[in-house]
Structure 1
Amino acid sequence: MRAPEIRAWSWEVLDTPIGPLLLAATDQGLALVVFHADGKTAAEAVSRLTRRLGTGPAPAPHRAAALAEAVRQLEGYFAGGLKEFTVPLDWSLTTGFNRRVLRELADGVPYGTVVGYQDLADRVGEPGAARAVGMAMGSNPLPVVVACHRVVESDGGIGGFGGGLETKRALLALEGVLPQPLF
């Protein structure tokens, strides 16, 4: 068994209108976004990432440039001013079909629009893979930035969401796809 590649990375928790998000980045780009990143969830995510990247976070003086940029862009997004993320992404936490689907989502489904699971499967040349697209959305290491909240059911249903349906509705409302919740 080959030892994991050791890579420098950094992380922080960002308070947002949908709750705390853990952001982790390498020198290649933003690698991970985790919903509901309270103390326990954040610690578990950091532990998993440590095993995956083969090292702990870099000492305090190191902060991946992509992490600072991700924070800036997410703050702009939640303030309603940013419509397109341009932070570099580190795709190393996803592979194969899932990576193809997520890249198509990132490149082909802009702010304020939605796409069906089946349509996304068709776009990546896998017309029978609508359920597999759903699985790819569930394993998305970069939610919000790679906007899996924009993937909905073809019959008009909202579909599932790893961050919870309330979070999905809030993100779609922020982008003008759904009306803002009344309370």
Structure 2
Amino acid sequence: MHTNNQDILMMLAYPAFLAGYQTVDEALNDQLFSSYLSAFIEQDVMPFTDAQSDINQDEIRNQWLNQFATSTTTDPLVSLCFDGASKLPSLILPALLDLLAQNRDIHRMAFLLAAYGHYLSANVDDKGVSYEPNSAHLHRHDWAKVNSDNVVALLEISTMATARLHTYSHFVAMYKSYRTQIAKYGIVFLLKQMTYKRLAVQ
């Protein structure tokens, strides 16, 4: 699985934006989000890297964080969220499919896609601020899926359909549960629940 700083930023962009943050550094100053991102690096990135055995795991994690922290922390999250329909398939889906194939932990990936689906359909963040999602690669039939009462329809939009995520029953169940919780209680509530259950930080 090839992962770079753009993958890491995409993991942060939608959840942090929905929480009401405006920039990457604002989100990373929140321990909840920095722990979530660190967990992604440690659990979903580092196991696939060819790290030297004599390098401390904390050092490896910090190297990943430093790859983007110095130059992108002031990037507006609204820009990172732009056109996820074209970004997610190339940046995130290959990693998710690798995790599914190896029967590894997919909680954070399911959480991200649930956040993305909510971002497209909700038009208001956790703080009640309205926004207009912008995704140039979504066509009319894709928006019909986005706004469907069946949240699983999002997984079959044109840019994601080839991944056939709807065929992974355990992923679908997790994704649906996260969509429901985000809609009812908000992104921060769900992330706190994941942290409490050690799904985001284990």
For Structure 1 versus Structure 2, the TM-score category normalised by the shorter chain is 0.3 to 0.5
Structure with the bigger percentage of strand = 1
TM-score calculated relative to the size of structure 1: 0.36
With CA pairs under 8 Å and 6+ residues apart, which has the higher RCO, 1 or 2?
2
